[in-house]
Amino acid sequence: MSGFSAKLNSATHLAQLRRVAEPVCAAHGVQLVDARFIQERGLCLRVLIERPGADAKTGAGVSLEDCQHVSRDLSTALDVEEQVAPQGAYHLEVGSPGLDRPLFSLSDFARFAGESVKLETHVPVAGRRRFSGKLLGVDGEAVKLEQDGQHVLVPHAEIAKAHLVYRF
């Protein structure tokens, strides 16, 4: 990731972005899952939304119209909140998190307890950086999972990325 997009994805900037995006999503009856800048054919603001209470096994329950409405209104809100959107060209992409939904917050990990997950950590935890197994929930500030018959606690702050694993 370039230094520019890394700055746009700092914790402070992402909090500002969420502050703008969450009310727009709520106005359309959806929840913000994530919003971050990525480098993909130029700079892209990728926004993931889902219906409250959506079942990960059946999809996030958002329609194309939901995405279009959130995109239109979020684009306007970002034009008003000039310090949140970067100067210059970027494109806005609004979509569903999909069946392999990414997990971010401790509440995500608690909500999807019982599901299969894959996660990677910033530093080794219990001698490894990649985990795959059944999500057991949360314990304080750590994520509990079962991998190869062993229970593992992974500090939430050390998780670089995590997502559900969809099984057919």
**Mind listing the pLDDT tens digit for each residue in 85-96?**
777 788 999 999
Mean pLDDT of the chain: 88
Domains belonging to the chain, first-starting first, are 3-95 (3.30.300.70), 106-164 (2.30.30.100)
| pTM attached to this predicted model | 0.81
Position 161 scores a pLDDT of: 93
With tokens 């359309």, the residue in question is: 28
